[in-house]
Amino acid sequence: ITPAHTLVSASWIDKTSKICDFQQVFSSQLDMSLHTGNKPIDTNGLKRMVDFCDHVFNLEEEHIIVGGHSIWFRSFFRTFLPYTIDHKSKQRKLKNCGVVAVTVMKASIEQEDKYMIDPQSINVVFGGFT
């Protein structure tokens, strides 16, 4: 397990790969600045998802790619898809190596930022939901 704020190290298998130089990929393409280690006791999943959205909307990039656990993505869909929308992403996990494109929107309501996934933007690129 990679310690907080530490660059990912290539495993012994990665180091022998002929596909690419994994350590160079890890060094040049991963941003570990937000990897803070274990979850603090004074937080919960909703706070962390909102913090994630806050961070994303403070980036200059127009598009980002996010990797993670299927349960996190299901929780993200359950939280940020409108309540009235019935979509399989709320009930099913993303398949291993699944890829889904979405548009997340931000609105400021009563001086508080709110986030929502545009239901029309959900596009299964690969794999889909189990």
Query: What is the C-alpha to C-alpha distance for residues 65 and 70, in angstroms, rounded to an integer?
Result: 15
How many residues are there in the chain? 130
* Reported confidence tier of residue 94, pLDDT bands at 50, 70, 90: very high
Greater confidence, 43 or 117?
A: 117
Cα 109–Cα 115–Cα 116 angle in degrees, nearest 5: 120
**Average confidence (pLDDT) over 86-100:** 95
Nearest alpha carbon to residue 70 among 96, 88, 44, 47 = 96
Burial (CB < 10 A; 0-12, 13-18, 19+), residue 40, is: exposed
pLDDT 10s digits, 14-57: 999 999 999 999 999 988 888 888 888 899 999 999 999 999 99
Report field, pTM of the whole predicted structure over 0.85: no
On the CB side of 49, CA atoms within 13 Å amount to 19
